[in-house]
């Protein structure tokens, strides 16, 4: 059975690049975790790769990022969901995402330098 157009273009089905994750983290940092419509709108304006990007999609991806980066910040089971939400509204791992993006850009520039030489 073939996948529908909506299914393969759904943000949950798409792989988010580091740049898109960084845009999401910056939008959450700016708007907070109570304004998912504003977050989705900002991410979509900055990157139109996603044809449909909902507040729920952004919240799910943000929660994925939170789990990925919070392993270093909080031991599992040591804080409840409200405490974590309040703790990360400032997005303490934003700098880690920036560093990942800078590393990607650096590798890309090195590849271009090699192809030009």
pTM of the model: 0.67
Q: Enumerate long-range contacts of 33-40, CB under 8 Å, 24 or more apart.
A: 33/59, 33/62, 33/85, 33/88, 33/89
Predicted local confidence at residue 47, as pLDDT: 82
Closest CA to 18 of 98, 89, 92: 98
Predicted local confidence at residue 15, as pLDDT: 83
pLDDT digits (tens, 9 = 90+) for 36-89: 999 999 999 988 776 678 999 999 999 999 888 877 655 555 555 555 555 555
Predicted local confidence at residue 94, as pLDDT: 83
């Amino acid at each position: 059975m073939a996948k529908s157009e909506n299914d393969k273009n759904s943000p949950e089905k798409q792989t988010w690049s580091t740049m898109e994750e960084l845009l999401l983290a910056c939008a959450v940092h700016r708007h907070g975790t109570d304004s998912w419509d504003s977050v989705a709108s900002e991410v979509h304006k900055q990157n139109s790769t996603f044809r449909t990007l909902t507040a729920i999609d952004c919240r799910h991806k943000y929660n994925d990022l939170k789990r990925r980066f919070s392993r270093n910040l909080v031991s599992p089971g040591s804080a409840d969901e409200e405490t974590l939400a309040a703790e990360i509204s400032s997005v303490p791992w934003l700098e880690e995402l920036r560093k990942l993006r800078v590393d990607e850009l650096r590798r890309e520039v090195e590849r271009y330098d090699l192809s030009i030489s």
